[in-house]
Every structure is written in C-alpha cells, then in structure tokens.
Amino acid sequence: MDSPNIHPRDLIAGLQKGLALMQLFNDERPRLSVPEAARLSGMTPSASRRFLLTLVHEGFAETDGRQYWLTPKALRIGQAYVDSAQLPRMLRPIVEQTARTTQEHVSVGVRDEDHIVHVVRSRYSHIASLSIRPGSRVPLYCAASGRVWLAFSSALAQEEYLERTPLRALTPYTQTDKAHIRAELQQVAIQGFACVDQEFEINMRVLSVPLFDRAGLLKATLSITTHASRLTLEEMRQRYLGPLYEAQALLRPIC
C-alpha cells in the first residue's frame, strides 16, 4: 500500500522527535546521556532531556540521573505490530509447513528503510542465529532477503542505496565491493532468488525468494537459514528452491 500524501501541518513534531529518539537506542548504544542524545538526534540538550524524561515518566525508559535506557515496556510498540498486522498471521501456517517439509528454519522478512526486519519465523529451528530473531534488523547488502529487495528495485534506487550505505565487512565473507554487488543483484533479478554465505553471520547460509502480491508488487521475502556445516550453497539450492517456490505460489494470493 502506498503511503498517503500528508501535509506537514498535519504532523505532530513532538511525536516525530520522540519516536526518532527512541530509535537511537541499539546494541551499540544501549544507554545514552543527554549530550549524546542531543548530538545524535540534532535536538538541543534541553529538548533531548525533556523527551527522555517524558519517556521515563511514561515507563518506556529509566535513568540513573546521567544516562538513560529503554525498559521492557518499549517492546509494546513492536508487539502492537505483531498483534495487529494481518500479514504475519496469514503467512505463518505456510511458513510452518515449509519448515516441516525442509526441517530447516524458515522466516519472512519485510523491508524497513535500509534494513530487513523478520516479522515471522518458524517455531522449528536447529540453529541459534542473531539474524532471525523477530524484529532483528539486517542490512540489505549482506542479507539474502535484502538482495532480493534491492534486485527488484529500480537501477536508480539501487545506486542511491549503494551511495548512501557504508558497506562494512561484518564477517570475513561479507561482500563490500560495489561492482560485485551490482553484478550479483543483476543475477538475482534474472534467476529469481538470492543466496548469502556467512556474510552477516558466521556459519549461517541463507536462501531467499520474493513474495509478490496479486498485482506483482514485492511485499516480503521468504528465506531458509541453515548452518554451513549441514549443506553447501549448491546443495541448498537443489534441495530447498522447490519447497520455497511451492510456498511462494501458495502465498501469492494472500500477500
């Protein structure tokens, strides 16, 4: 669904700033001081302090007087999507069916700006991967599902992404050469699937296919993740592309 054209006068700036400030917290910055929050958000220190204190007052954050951190109540915001969105609920039965068929971990990812977020994951899993936790965010360039999204974007959108995104080597296997990634995206667009070998996480191999809606628009991706010791990439393709394509066909009418 396309985003509506909203006039700036209809927006609540305080809500925008508060939500942006909450998103500053991550695994690299679990705690923030007022000066840090101000620098990262572009707000004044006094405004940052008021927003942080508001989060504390509402129970979304705690403070020791110098630093601030989020509380478990912040999970309610993400859980509200999981509980209310129709897409995860509709996809889950087929995700579980595919997991039973392959005896591998299966997940569904959607694009959130320059990241992939997993909104459904199969209950069956023999692996412990950071990348497949519900709500986990993975950069597009080093995720199989991310490369699917990029491959089915316009050439201009791909170039804009590559220009604004620092391509960091997250593992010794991460591809960071733009020419190589461009060539791979062309191949993904032709063959209709993407494979990633330990580029985001050591020992994790991922195979991903697009999920299109009835109008042919990309809505999500369906991925299988397995341990590198179990199968080679070629073995993954031979064994699991069939089940993924079967699930893709079943999911198309409900995406």
- The pLDDT assigned to 135 comes to 64
- Evaluate whether residue 2 is within a structural domain: no
Over 50: is that where the pLDDT of 107 sits? yes
39 and 113, same domain (yes or no):
no
Over 80: is that where the pLDDT of 205 sits? yes
At 1, is the pLDDT very low, low, confident or very high (cuts 50, 70, 90)? very low
- Please provide the average confidence, as pLDDT, over all residues in the chain: 88
Mind listing the pLDDT tens digit for each residue in 156-165?
Answer: 999 999 999 9
Longest alpha-carbon distance in the chain: 59
Over 90: is that where the pLDDT of 252 sits? no
- Evaluate whether residue 138 is within a structural domain: yes
Q: Is the dihedral of CA 67, 71, 73, 78 positive or negative?
A: positive
Nearest-angstrom CA–CA distance, 97 and 95: 5
| 172 vs 252: which has the higher pLDDT | 172
Lowest mean pLDDT among 36-50, 132-146, 168-182: 132-146
- Evaluate whether residue 3 is within a structural domain: no
Would you state the structure tokens that stand for residue 107, as one six-digit string? 């997940």
pTM of the model: 0.74
Return the beta strands (E) in 3-141 as ranges.
32-33, 61-63, 67-70, 105-112, 115-121, 137-139
Over 80: is that where the pLDDT of 7 sits? no
149 and 227, same domain (yes or no):
yes
Q: How many residues does the chain have?
A: 255
Mind listing the pLDDT tens digit for each residue in 9-66?
Answer: 877 888 888 888 898 898 889 999 999 999 999 999 999 999 999 999 999 999 999 9
| 20 vs 131: which has the higher pLDDT | 20
**Which residue in 220, 210, 115 sits closest to 165, CA to CA?**
115
Q: Position 44: which residue type?
A: T
Tell me which of 23, 44, 76 is where a domain ends.
76
Q: Which DSSP helix (H) or strand (E) runs through 178?
A: helix 178-191
- The pLDDT assigned to 128 comes to 61
Is residue 182 classed as helix, strand or coil in its secondary structure? helix
- The pLDDT assigned to 122 comes to 87
- Evaluate whether residue 225 is within a structural domain: yes
| 250 vs 5: which has the higher pLDDT | 250
Would you state the structure tokens that stand for residue 135, as one six-digit string? 């709500």
Nearest-angstrom CA–CA distance, 244 and 246: 5
Over 60: is that where the pLDDT of 183 sits? yes
94 and 204, same domain (yes or no):
yes
At 90, is the pLDDT very low, low, confident or very high (cuts 50, 70, 90)? confident
- The pLDDT assigned to 32 comes to 94
What CATH number is given to the structural domain containing 248?
A: 3.30.450.40
Tell me which of 27, 57, 76 is where a domain ends.
76
Nearest-angstrom CA–CA distance, 226 and 233: 10
- The pLDDT assigned to 168 comes to 94
109 and 24, same domain (yes or no):
no
Name the residue range of residue 65's domain: 8-76
- Evaluate whether residue 136 is within a structural domain: yes
* Residue 173 CB burial class (10 angstroms; 0-12, 13-18, ≥19): middle
Q: CA-based Rg of the chain, rounded to a whole angstrom?
A: 20
72 and 89, same domain (yes or no):
no
Mind listing the pLDDT tens digit for each residue in 221-243?
Answer: 999 999 999 999 999 999 999 99
- Evaluate whether residue 18 is within a structural domain: yes
When divided into structural domains, the chain yields a total of 2
17 and 70, same domain (yes or no):
yes
At 83, is the pLDDT very low, low, confident or very high (cuts 50, 70, 90)? low
152 and 230, same domain (yes or no):
yes
